[in-house]
Amino acid sequence: MVKLYAISVLRRSDSATGDGTGTCILLKGSYDLQSVGFFQRGSVQEFLVFTSNMLVERTSPGVRKTVKENGETLVVVILHKYYYYCLLYSMSVEYLCHVYVRNDGLAAVLVSDAEYPNRVGHTLLTKVLDDVTTQTEWKTANTETLRNYKSLDAFLMKYQNPREADALTKIQAELDETKIIMHNTIEAVLERGEKLDDLVAKSEGLSAQSKMFYKTARKTNSCCNF
């Protein structure tokens, strides 16, 4: 089933060290978590924000990435937690995190299932960032000042069906000449010596409940193949 789970827009500031990393803040996020258990949705959304920030901070300006998850790491562990109980006999499910950081620091992350076309996902990211640029003062904005920006919800709903991307043919033609960096796991995006477990433990954006949820999911996933 083709599915979009989240679109996040962030602002990135480059590190003064020039090492390609940077810090970022979430400007706006839209989420479709109806397929996730009701009591897990809060933790799932926190981890989507955490993951989006982590990926944007480790993506250089002007670069596009698609990170594939296969049940071994964060996004699938979280999004697949609900299905683990309901679809015990399902095979490993893959999810994709599409990341685009513009040269001016405006960035977006799209989380989809593995069936959603990569090029359509990145085309949508371009359209989202163009709309944010036109409709908002993003360079000085924050989640509070963008409270009334509703276009992101409309994008997430409309482009659940990738056929809607037909209207984006011109943008996609330009993307055909753009290199998209592919990573098989989130760990592959981390800097040398960094560990996902440590980043989760240190995160101030994750509640104690979400961190416990993560630990339980990781432990369960290490013991079971599905």
Strand order through the sheet with 106-113: 22-31, 4-14, 106-113, 95-101, 63-69, 180-183
The enclosing H or E element of 28 equals strand 22-31
Model confidence over 60-86: pLDDT tens digits? 899 998 888 654 433 333 334 433 333
Tokens 């993307």, residue located: 175
Most confident segment among 46-50, 80-84, 186-190, 211-215 = 46-50
What the block records as the tokens of 194 is 């960094």
DSSP annotation of 46 reads H
User: Per-residue confidence at 201, pLDDT binned at 50, 70, 90?
Assistant: confident
Spatial contact of 71 and 80, defined as CB atoms under 8 Å apart: yes
pTM of structure: 0.69
Angle between helices 208-223 and 41-57 (to 10 degrees): 90
